[in-house]
Amino acid sequence: MVTAESRLREGGSAEVTDALVRAGGGASAEVASLRAESVAGVEAGVPSRLGCRPFWTAAMELSAEYLREKLQRDLEAEHVEVEDTTPNRCASSFRVLVVSAKFEGKPLLQRHRLVNTCLAEELLHIHAFEQKTLTPEQWARERQK
């Protein structure tokens, strides 16, 4: 069966957008246009205005190991854990634990700003980011629990 999306993959554009509007069953032209753009973008590996990136581009650009190494190097961290929590591979999500002496004497907001500054470029491509920042002393106490 030939669909609007398959025609788009083969190089259609305005014709496909019109087909998507008709197939949208009450969807506005703007929504259909975004759908067409999204399909085209996914095929090309480009993020759409809907914010969905194909999983292979996110995986190539951002990995848990890459983030772990960067945090460890830039924050001189003694311990870093990075968990990829991406549920459906549409947009990347990560949870991190960073233990660094650079956090000594700093309130939580300043610690998070240090992490955010370290990963400024990467955060542009991350949909959800959860972080826990501890000093070495806090980390030692937490491990004893």
Greater confidence (101 vs 91) lies with 101
94 has a pLDDT exceeding 60: yes
pLDDT at 69: 96
pLDDT at 79: 97
76 neighbors 140 (Cβ within 8 angstroms): no
How many Å apart are CA 84 and CA 67, to the nearest integer? 10
Question: Which of the residue ranges 39-48, 101-110, 117-126 would you say has the lowest mean pLDDT?
Answer: 39-48
Kindly report the length of the chain.
145
Residue 53's pLDDT band, with cuts at 50, 70 and 90, is very low
How many Å apart are CA 63 and CA 55, to the nearest integer? 11
Q: Is the pTM here over 0.75, yes or no?
A: no
Give the long-range contacts of residues 113-118, CB within 8 A, separation 24 or more: 114/75, 115/71, 115/75, 118/70, 118/71, 118/74, 118/75
pLDDT at 89: 64
111 neighbors 133 (Cβ within 8 angstroms): yes
Residue 49's pLDDT band, with cuts at 50, 70 and 90, is very low
Residue 62's pLDDT band, with cuts at 50, 70 and 90, is confident
Per-residue pLDDT tens digits for 1-33: 554 444 444 444 444 444 444 444 444 455 445
* H or E, element range at 99: strand 92-100
What's the one-letter identity of residue 26? G
Q: Once rounded to an integer, what is the mean pLDDT over residues 86-99?
A: 86
* H or E, element range at 35: helix 29-44
pLDDT at 37: 53
